[in-house]
């Protein structure tokens, strides 16, 4: 995995400054500490920092085509590159490396912008066509790898991470108040918006081109579902076999690397199934990695140890104590580059550090299984609520919620409150956002902590208008379950889970994660599978359990899903670091102007008095602390830039090239 950055003139040629590009790429050197490279001409500049995984000695970027007219910097992996190379060589394409990146250059020569349709991978790329004077930026289908951009003085600047863009003189540092409201409602921003004003993120499944001063953004892929009548009618056994073959092949091609590949192993169905497939079908010396917690409510040590014993793998674990989570949290925010409502990314930050300490650069993980195979409670909640809505006076139908939350319904007071929560807007089954409306409304309550100085606080309905406006035209014809899948995948998965808990936590320690469940072939196949095979009754991930039933112990297959979470108040308050205490101080809160000082004080006092913080209060605390830290790190302070060194590869085609001046940098 790597980091990329660059610039392109929108009007007249403006030869890029090599020192500025090196400064941009140095701010994210942790994404690729092995090599750096630059390409410069009178219109564009491309920069790359490399984490070498494929073609260790020959894959230095930027990479070119045969006549030096195309140049590319690439962040990610193209998993089907050997097959594509075999197709391209007979067509006359000549290769000078063994890397996957060079395949993309020739793929572009052959198919132009349609090259993306042939790529199976996780990526962000920038390709410069020096003949056409056209820049091509693209991002993978579901957004596993990030790509941001901004426009300043008739120049478009792009980078893997926002901090690179904030090193550019003239780029203003200001938090976007609408973005903050979106995060405090949906857990993330929507569309192209980021937490920073005038800095955008290229959406998943999109590409951007710049030619003759014109910027064009187009979508080349999106999650799609057939109408209910067109879902697969094949027997379950046949569906399971096909899904298993696709998943196994997705795992196989994600093991392609010139370095060892490990796997995360939590003890849950998803990571256990991936680890079992690797260990049983592909290699016998698999190294796995897991998180342990000091608090029993969050820990999965027992099933994790069961899987380690079952697979006989080399396992390493990291103990995410409450104190370590608090100590890590400020660094986590530096890498997420956005506020977060949970501390869950922090243990993953610690886990990626552990993997690199062991000496690995690549791991396979289980993200995406819940969205694609139907694992989240939000899917089952919507199913129960629709069933309940057909007989709203029923006493037995709402009681089905007990199967999802038995620990809540054992408390009569909490049971009544929870049932009332799920009864809200019960009969609004025609609402396109029915599955998520009450959840988003519940999270939206934490916007009450914003200060009067904030821009007008938008009601939930207004914030949801953007979600509604971007729904596919055929959305209304989909099965209610697939509507929920689409919302969860399009909003939560791409912009939060794959970012704050995925790429950012791994790349903070130069670790590449690979996600077999998000192979687009498997996603497209599963979109045609009837919802009943995903959640059978209230049994989540029924199809996936069937696939893994002969590879895993029965206890693991039948085990109820254990949502991945981490303690919040027990960490951020009980073990608050100096940075966290400063972030919550009256002076810091008042200076940032984002939150109401008196409300923040009351919240902190309340949480310090209770042993069992409520979910909304806990999320509010995490959101406030992370926003305040974001303000300190990116608005008040200078961006951290490591040593700026001579690049390993420098291609300078400017009409008036200048020697690099690294003095004083």
255 and 147 within one domain: no
Last residue of a domain, one of 558, 587, 608: 558
Q: What is the pLDDT of residue 228?
A: 81
Q: Is residue 599 part of a domain?
A: no
- Distance CA(595)–CA(452), nearest Å, equals 8
Q: What is the pLDDT of residue 536?
A: 96
Question: How far, in whole angstroms, is CA 433 from its chain's centroid?
Answer: 22
Q: What is the pLDDT of residue 93?
A: 97
Q: How many domains does the chain have?
A: 2
Domain that holds residue 340: 228-372+487-558
Say if strands 261-264 and 214-219 run parallel, antiparallel, or are unpaired: unpaired
Q: Is residue 392 part of a domain?
A: no
251 and 213 within one domain: no
Q: Is residue 613 part of a domain?
A: no
172 and 52 within one domain: yes
Question: Do 650 and 660 form a contact (C-beta atoms < 8 A)?
Answer: yes
Q: Which 3 state secondary structure label does DSSP give 580?
A: helix
Burial of 375: CB neighbours in 10 Å, binned 0-12, 13-18, 19+: buried
Choose among 344, 353, 391, 236: nearest CA to 618.
Answer: 344
- Distance CA(345)–CA(537), nearest Å, equals 32
315 and 203 within one domain: no
Q: Is residue 142 part of a domain?
A: yes
Residue 368 is encoded by which pair of tokens? 């995406």
Q: Is residue 475 part of a domain?
A: no
- This prediction has a pTM of 0.96
Q: Is residue 403 part of a domain?
A: no
492 and 350 within one domain: yes
CATH of the domain at 48: 3.60.20.10
9 and 96 within one domain: yes
SS3 string of 113-125?
HHHHHHCCEEEEE
Q: Kindly list the averaged pLDDT for each block of 10 residues, start to end, along the chain of length 665.
A: 93 92 96 96 97 89 97 98 98 96 98 98 98 97 98 97 97 96 97 97 98 96 90 95 98 96 96 97 92 93 96 96 97 98 98 97 97 96 96 94 86 84 95 97 96 88 96 95 96 94 97 98 97 96 97 94 91 96 97 97 95 91 98 94 89 92 68
CATH of the domain at 531: 3.40.50.620
241 and 197 within one domain: no
- Distance CA(579)–CA(594), nearest Å, equals 18
Question: Do 313 and 286 form a contact (C-beta atoms < 8 A)?
Answer: yes
């Amino acid at each position: 995995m790597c980091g990329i950055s660059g610039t392109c003139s929108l009007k007249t040629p403006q030869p890029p400054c090599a020192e500025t590009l090196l400064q941009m790429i140095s701010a994210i050197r942790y994404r690729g500490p092995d090599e750096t490279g630059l390409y410069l001409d009178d219109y564009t500049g491309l920069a790359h920092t490399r984490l070498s995984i494929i073609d260790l000695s020959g894959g230095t970027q930027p990479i070119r085509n045969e006549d030096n007219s195309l140049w590319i910097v690439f962040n990610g992996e193209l998993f089907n590159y050997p097959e594509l190379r075999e197709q391209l060589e007979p067509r006359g394409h000549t290769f000078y490396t063994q890397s996957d990146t060079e395949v993309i250059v020739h793929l572009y020569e052959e198919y132009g912008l349609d090259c993306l349709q042939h790529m199976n991978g996780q990526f962000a790329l920038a390709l410069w066509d020096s003949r056409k004077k056209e820049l091509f930026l693209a991002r993978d289908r579901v957004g596993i790898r990030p790509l941001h951009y901004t426009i300043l003085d008739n120049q478009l600047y792009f980078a893997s991470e926002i901090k690179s863009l904030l090193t550019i003189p003239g780029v203003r540092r200001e938090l976007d108040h609408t973005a903050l409201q979106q995060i405090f409602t949906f857990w993330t921003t929507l569309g192209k918006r980021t937490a920073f004003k005038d800095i955008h993120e290229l959406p998943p499944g999109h590409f951007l081109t710049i030619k003759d001063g014109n910027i064009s953004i187009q979508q080349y892929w999106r999650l799609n579902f057939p109408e209910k009548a067109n879902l697969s009618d094949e027997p379950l056994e046949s569906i399971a076999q096909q899904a298993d073959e696709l998943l196994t092949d997705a795992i196989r091609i994600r093991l392609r690397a010139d370095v060892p590949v490990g796997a995360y192993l939590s003890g849950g169905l998803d990571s256990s199934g991936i680890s079992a497939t690797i260990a049983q079908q592909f290699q016998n010396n698999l190294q796995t990695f897991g998180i342990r917690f000091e608090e029993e409510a969050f820990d999965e040590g027992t099933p994790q140890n069961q899987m380690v014993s079952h697979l006989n793998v080399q396992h390493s674990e990291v103990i995410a104590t409450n104190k370590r989570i608090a100590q890590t949290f400020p660094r986590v925010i530096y890498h997420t580059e956005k506020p977060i409502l949970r501390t869950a990314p922090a243990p993953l930050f610690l886990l990626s550090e552990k993997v690199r300490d062991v000496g690995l650069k690549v791991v396979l993980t289980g993200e995406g299984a819940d969205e694609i195979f139907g694992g989240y409670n939000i899917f089952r909640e919507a199913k129960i609520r629709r069933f309940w809505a057909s007989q709203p006076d029923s006493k037995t139908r709402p009681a089905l919620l007990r199967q999802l939350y038995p620990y809540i319904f054992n408390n009569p007071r909490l049971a009544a409150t929870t049932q009332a929560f799920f009864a809200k807007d019960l009969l609004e089954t025609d609402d396109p956002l029915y599955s998520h409306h009450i959840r988003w409304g519940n999270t939206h309550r934490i916007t009450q902590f914003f200060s009067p100085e904030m821009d007008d606080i938008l009601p939930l309905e207004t914030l949801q208008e953007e979600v509604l406006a971007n729904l596919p035209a055929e959305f209304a014809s989909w099965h209610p379950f697939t509507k929920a899948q689409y919302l969860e995948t399009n909003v939560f998965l791409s912009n939060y889970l794959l970012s704050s808990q995925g790429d950012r936590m791994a790349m903070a320690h130069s670790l590449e994660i690979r996600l077999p469940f998000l192979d687009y072939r498997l996603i497209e196949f599963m979109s045609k599978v009837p919802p009943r095979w995903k959640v059978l009754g209230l049994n989540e991930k029924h199809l996936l359990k069937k696939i893994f039933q002969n590879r895993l112990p029965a206890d693991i297959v039948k085990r109820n899903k254990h949502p991945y979470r981490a303690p919040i108040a027990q960490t951020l308050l009980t073990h608050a670091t100096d940075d966290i205490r400063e972030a919550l101080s009256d002076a810091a809160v008042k200076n940032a102007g984002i939150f109401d000082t008196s409300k923040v004080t009351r919240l902190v006092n309340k949480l310090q008095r209770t042993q069992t913080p409520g979910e909304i209060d806990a999320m509010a605390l995490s959101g406030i602390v992370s926003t305040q830290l974001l303000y300190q790190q990116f608005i008040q302070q200078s961006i951290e830039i490591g040593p700026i060194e001579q690049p390993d590869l420098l291609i300078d085609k400017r009409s008036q090239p200048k020697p690099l001046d690294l003095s004083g940098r």
